[in-house]
Structure 1
Amino acid sequence: MEKKLINDHTYGIWERILFQPVFLNFNRLQQEVSGKTILITGASSGIGEQVAYVLADINVHLILVARRKENLQIIKDEIEKKNKASVTIYRADLRIEEELEGLLELIHKSPKGIDVAVCNAGLSINRSVYESLDRYHDFTRTMAINYFAPVKMLLSILPLLEKSKGQIVNVSTINSLLMPIPFWSAYQASKSAFDTWLRSIAPELLQNNVSTTSIYLPLVKTDMIRPTAAYENMPAMCPNHVAKIICQSFYTKRKKYGPWWLIFGQLASTLFRDVLERITATAIKKRGK
């Protein structure tokens, strides 16, 4: 199992500045989640996988969901070698109604209910709108997994989370809080939709003892960004670093996390929107887009 916990992305100077280290108090984490059931979607690789491995030495029940069953089985086998956490895996493409319903049936039949839901599954598309003129499915499939699936899932399990005084963790993106950028319209719209929905209902949930946490992330070295060659040498977070932030939120109940510099990006997005849009349009023109 050790090979999974090794940070396979060594931070350079800029990354050490941009992504400050996180201290994970393992004793507090253990006290908070011991005996609980934690659902993690998108758990077969990247962030979801690393959250599962951080929890491997604690007496928790993990429900790991993803499309790649073989990856889930490997994770289950490695975690259960420790004889601490127990793991239930469920192969599902949450965009498919019948498969999402199957997951919900599994959760509702669980005798211990559910205590934490980590909404991590997602889909990213980097494409000009002019390349999507005959690809309406670019937008329907991103909305399906990034918005509709987690909304339907949470609507179904909210009574269980109320009963356990549970927590919802949304693995979001900094783009939800910044000025939108070209070529990512499908992704940004879908992630922003779920982020807005969750923040909108958060006060209602809090009245019923369900806490919410939104994790706003920059680039993360996962399978999702590999198809975009331009990101190869850009600063990016390590999945294990993000996993520690998520696990820390289990005991701090922090409402949101974002990199320290996000506030400056938000200010720039508000104060200099017109200027930034003109600069972006000029850059696209020079690229011949």
Structure 2
Amino acid sequence: MRLLGLGSNWSVAGRVVLVTGASSGIGAGVVRDLVGRGGTVVAVARRAELLEDLVTSTRGGPGRVEAHACDLTRADDVDRLVTNVRDSVGRVDVLVNNAGRSIRRSIAVSHDRAHDFERTMAINYLGAVRLTLGLVPTMLAQGEGHVVNVVTAGVQLRSPLFSAYIASKSALDAFGRIMAREMRDQGVTVTNVRLPLVRTDMIAPTDEFATAPALSVDQAAERVRRAIECRPIAVNELHATAFELLSVLAPGLADRMSHWASRGLTESRAAMRRG
């Protein structure tokens, strides 16, 4: 892991952090980590019952959790969330755009599945952007704020078979970088956390990932928390950065290597099914 553009440490104790996709996986891990360090966490997700379980499980810690059920794909839900959070906690110091969905499917068999791309973009990009736009005015008014976009190392690797997922996360990654450049003199910073594979329910449908190297939820949550504390420009994987450089210097070779790797995974999956 590399933290690019490392800044000074910033304590989460006493700060308000809004985390989306907080009902399970990485989001729930981030909530538990931050509460354990004295943060006030606004936990956002669609599944209200799981959010309440999270509130109960973290009760008694140094910090506290406030749950808000919200469907980030619905504009009116996001606008209502912004108003409710402003009324209940007054300010948001850090926004963690973590909510997301993934899908593994070749473009060749997606000719009648445009909805896969639309649904993925709705949650991974458009929902995150609308929420960010809703909270930015308050951050600017208070003279500081930080946005953490949980994306994927795939934005550098451009891995085959994940076009819908990686395209949506690449859009959020680009949005974050541009926002950071526009607001660098206004106290609002942005970090894109480009995570490798993480062992969550989201990767379970892909057989090959069962034995692939992956971070635990706690390890991923630690990276997100470190991004909050240090506010780097990006958190990258060394191998992904190296491959991104190769893609610039020798794009043909990078494409062939990526194609061979994805073809090997496909053949391996077929062999597993025959077995």
Give the TM-score category using the shorter length: 0.7 to 0.9
TM-score (norm 1): 0.83
| Structure-to-structure mapping, 1:63-102, within 5 angstroms | 63-82=42-61, 84-102=62-80
Q: Deviations over 1:243-274 (max 9, x none)?
A: 11211222222221112333322222223321
- SS class of match (1:157): helix
Q: Which residue of 1 aligns with 2:190?
A: 212
Give 1:90's aligned amino acid: H
Would the alpha carbon gap of residues 279 and 52 (structure 1) be closer, same or farther in structure 2, given more than 3 Å must change?
closer
Note if contact 1:37-1:112 (Cα within 8 Å) is conserved in structure 2. no
Q: Distance in 1 between the 2:231 and 2:263 partners?
A: 41
Note if contact 2:21-2:98 (Cα within 8 Å) is conserved in structure 1. yes
Q: Deviations over 1:79-129 (max 9, x none)?
A: 1133x3221111222112232222122123234311000010011010112
Runs (4+) of structure 1 exceeding 6 A deviation are none
Match for residue 27 of structure 2 among 48, 52, 72: 48
Note if contact 2:176-2:191 (Cα within 8 Å) is conserved in structure 1. no
Note if contact 2:147-2:191 (Cα within 8 Å) is conserved in structure 1. yes
- SS class of match (1:207): coil
Match for residue 270 of structure 1 among 248, 257, 268: 248
Q: Which residue of 2 aligns with 1:108?
A: 86
Give 1:183's aligned amino acid: L
- SS class of match (2:17): strand
Note if contact 1:58-1:85 (Cα within 8 Å) is conserved in structure 2. yes
Q: Distance in 2 between the 1:175 and 1:48 partners?
A: 19
Q: Distance in 2 between the 1:278 and 1:51 partners?
A: 37
Moved more, 161-170 or 102-111: 102-111
What's the offset of the Cα at 1:64? 0.3
| Structure-to-structure mapping, 1:36-185, within 5 angstroms | 36-82=15-61, 84-162=62-140, 163=142, 165-178=144-157, 180-185=158-163
> Which 5+ residue runs of structure 1 have no aligned equivalent?
1-18, 21-27
TM-score (norm 2): 0.87
Q: Which residue of 2 aligns with 1:195?
A: 173
Would the alpha carbon gap of residues 239 and 164 (structure 1) be closer, same or farther in structure 2, given more than 3 Å must change?
farther
Q: Which residue of 1 aligns with 2:273?
A: none
Q: Distance in 2 between the 1:109 and 1:142 partners?
A: 30
Note if contact 1:214-1:255 (Cα within 8 Å) is conserved in structure 2. yes
- SS class of match (1:55): helix
Note if contact 1:114-1:164 (Cα within 8 Å) is conserved in structure 2. no
What's the offset of the Cα at 1:60? 2.5
Q: Distance in 2 between the 1:35 and 1:184 partners?
A: 39
